[in-house]
A and B are shown apart, each in its own frame.
Chain A
Amino acid sequence: QVQLQESGPGLVKPSETLSLTCTVSGDSMSSYYWSWIRQPPGKGLEWIGFIYYSGSTSYNPSLRSRVTISIDTSKNQFSLKLTSVTAADTAIYYCARCTYGLDFHYWGQGSLVTVSS
């Protein structure tokens, strides 16, 4: 059974960089796409971006200038960095595994990140 687990600081100061890691267990990272999705409290889902196991990426145009997703298949991990955060970036951040059609079959439990001084 594939499992994903997000980890990282739960509190980030405005203007700083949000960093999260997703650790994958139960299967190899090969041949899949790996994605980050976020959900502000009480609001809907927002796709952040994905990375293929080979390293190619795609990002939400509204976040592209601030987002970097990287992957380390030797550690079965992929990571998210979001720079220059504001209160609007406060959200539950989910990592997920998807296929070419970007359908998310497996999700992490989510990690609440609050942006506040």
Chain B
Amino acid sequence: QSALTQPASVSGSPGQSITISCTGTSSDVGDYNYVSWYQQHPGEAPKLLIYAVTTRPSGVSNRFSGSKSGNTASLTISGLQAEDEADYYCSSYTSSNTLVFGGGTMLTVL
């Protein structure tokens, strides 16, 4: 199974909105609503931001939102804050009953 495709890096200024894409295939992202997004700060374990494409776990800011169109899922962060600077990973359930991660996107807050 191939990793999902994410941009290596994105950047934005405080207060702006940014979107991170996550492209898979019809055997994973395109066929299941089991896409998740994780935030990882240096030296820490990843934190779940979004699951089931659009659902935020309790305690996650509503500045984070998820969507999906075809084989591509997206994470949007609105009202960018300095604390949002981190690595972001998407993942998807696959038709082989396995999981695949994206390669990760480094977000820089300018």
Contacts and interface: CB of A to CB of B under 8 A. Distances in A.
A binds B: yes
B45 A108 contact: yes
Contacts, number: 64
Contacts of B102: 44
B98 A60 contact: yes
Mostly, the A contact residues are loop
B61 interface: no
Contact of A102 (B38, B93, B103): B93
Interface size class of A (residues with CB under 8 A): 20 to 34
A104 B46 contact: yes
Contacts of B34: 101-103
A7 interface: no
Interface size class of B (residues with CB under 8 A): 20 to 34
Interface string B1-15: 101000000000000
A79 to B, nearest CB: 19
Given A58-B98, A103-B34, A104-B36, A47 B48 contact: no
A45 B101 contact: yes
A50 to B, nearest CB: 8
B105 to A, nearest CB: 10
A103 B45 contact: no
B101 A101 contact: no
A86 B35 CA distance: 31
A46 B102 CA distance: 9
